[in-house]
Amino acid sequence: MSKKTMKVIPIRHITGTHGQESNAGLFSIRKISEVLMGNDLVHDLHKHNFYFILAIEKGQGVHEIDFVHYEIHDNAMFILRPGQVHQLKLTADSTGYLIEFDISFYQPKNTIGEQRWKKAIANNYCEVEENRFKKLLIYISNSFTEYNLMQEGYSQAIKANMDLFFIEFVRQSQNALQVSSVVSTYTQECYEELLVLLEANITETKKVSQYAKLLNLSIYQLNAITKASVGKTTGDLINEQIILEAKRYLLATPNQIKDIAWHLGYDDISYFIRFFKKHTGHSPDLFRKNFK
């Protein structure tokens, strides 16, 4: 099967009906109640080519992000990165906001802001204490008002409120992914850069030495960084990314196992099946049947 005929995971875009396009990128913010219009929401597995923030003030449902299952409760905050696969179910009475934007619209350029931003988008989920959720909601509500009024400087005002939002979000979710709370800024930056590289290159690049070279580090240094950050070797993280990409294609597309193996860089389908079963306890075919 060629890349032209390989079925891809459904990708959603910021559409023209609710995306404000300019040279500064795309941004959209909507009230969840306006999206639901009195109906339950059910979105099957798909991914976005943009960042996605779901702020649930009140509501119930289920949100599955890269096959991690979250029960939706009041005062819940979700952030998705481009490329992550998710499915969402929300009850008709849910309230809050849905924000969509691309990296051209918002990405902090100063060092401190960029570090904070990377911390924030590393955490898909944060359940917030009610009073602090209200603080987050103020920044989102301000952005909603600016977006709808579109007065002079509204784009800059939205970005300023997003800066404040991410400061508060990081306060709520700080160190959620780290084994130790005492990790140097350099170590954290290298680890976060590795995650970006894994997401972008896993179908072509699978060796620890290759990622070490991309980061201008030795294999020993890179393993020390991943161990300090999440208690895992770089090899563990590579394997996890391969399995994640395999799961995405198994559950979100009808592609045959051999074609998914090929997409992931495996010419030997038997090896791929053994590798998948070793790390998940299921063959790819059984995984698809049991979890789809």
**Banded model confidence at residue 177, pLDDT cuts 50, 70, 90:** very low
Same domain, 204 and 261: yes
3-state secondary structure string across 167-232: HHHHHHHCCCCCCCCCCCHHHHHHHHHHHHHHHHHCCCCCCHHHHHHHCCCCHHHHHHHHHHHHCC
**Banded model confidence at residue 180, pLDDT cuts 50, 70, 90:** very low
Same domain, 102 and 215: no
**Banded model confidence at residue 29, pLDDT cuts 50, 70, 90:** very high
Same domain, 117 and 206: no
Residues pairing with 166 in the sheet: none
Same domain, 97 and 31: yes
**Banded model confidence at residue 121, pLDDT cuts 50, 70, 90:** confident
Same domain, 128 and 165: yes
pLDDT at 21: 52
Q: Is residue 187 part of a domain?
A: no
Same domain, 60 and 166: yes
pLDDT at 178: 45
- Give the end of a domain, one of 132, 154, 173: 173
Does residue 275 surpass a pLDDT of 90?
A: yes
Q: Is residue 140 part of a domain?
A: yes
Average pLDDT rounded to a whole number, residues 164-191: 72
Does residue 1 surpass a pLDDT of 60?
A: no
Using alpha carbons, list the distances in angstroms from residue 100 to 57, 81, 103, 106, 109. 17, 10, 10, 10, 19
pLDDT at 108: 86
Residue 133 belongs to a domain with what CATH number? 2.60.120.280
d(CA 222, CA 199): 17
pLDDT at 22: 53
Q: Is residue 188 part of a domain?
A: no
pLDDT at 36: 94
pLDDT at 20: 57
Does residue 198 surpass a pLDDT of 90?
A: yes
Query: What's the pTM value of the predicted model, to 2 decimals?
Result: 0.81
Same domain, 48 and 143: yes
Same domain, 166 and 207: no
∠ CA 191-193-194 to the nearest 5 degrees? 65
Q: Is residue 186 part of a domain?
A: no
pLDDT at 249: 93
Q: Is residue 189 part of a domain?
A: no
Q: Is residue 190 part of a domain?
A: no
- For residue 286, the enclosing domain spans 200-223+232-291
Average pLDDT rounded to a whole number, residues 141-162: 94
Average pLDDT rounded to a whole number, residues 61-66: 94
- Give the end of a domain, one of 173, 208, 240: 173
pLDDT at 117: 85
DSSP letters, 93-117, are T-EEEEEEE-TTT----SHHHHHHH
Same domain, 21 and 140: yes
Same domain, 23 and 147: yes
Of all residues in the chain, the percent with pLDDT exceeding 90 is: 65
pLDDT at 176: 45
Average pLDDT rounded to a whole number, residues 142-155: 93
Does residue 165 surpass a pLDDT of 90?
A: yes
Read off the pLDDT of residues 214-268 as tens digits, 9 standing for 90 and up.
Answer: 999 999 999 999 998 889 999 999 999 999 999 999 998 999 999 999 999 999 9
Q: Is residue 36 part of a domain?
A: yes
Question: Mean pLDDT of all residues in the chain?
Answer: 88
Average pLDDT rounded to a whole number, residues 56-66: 94
Residue 268 belongs to a domain with what CATH number? 1.10.10.60
**Range in 52-61, 83-92, 104-113, 283-292 the model is least confident about:** 104-113
Q: Is residue 195 part of a domain?
A: no
Same domain, 138 and 85: yes
Same domain, 208 and 152: no
pLDDT at 2: 45
For the chain, the domain total comes to 2
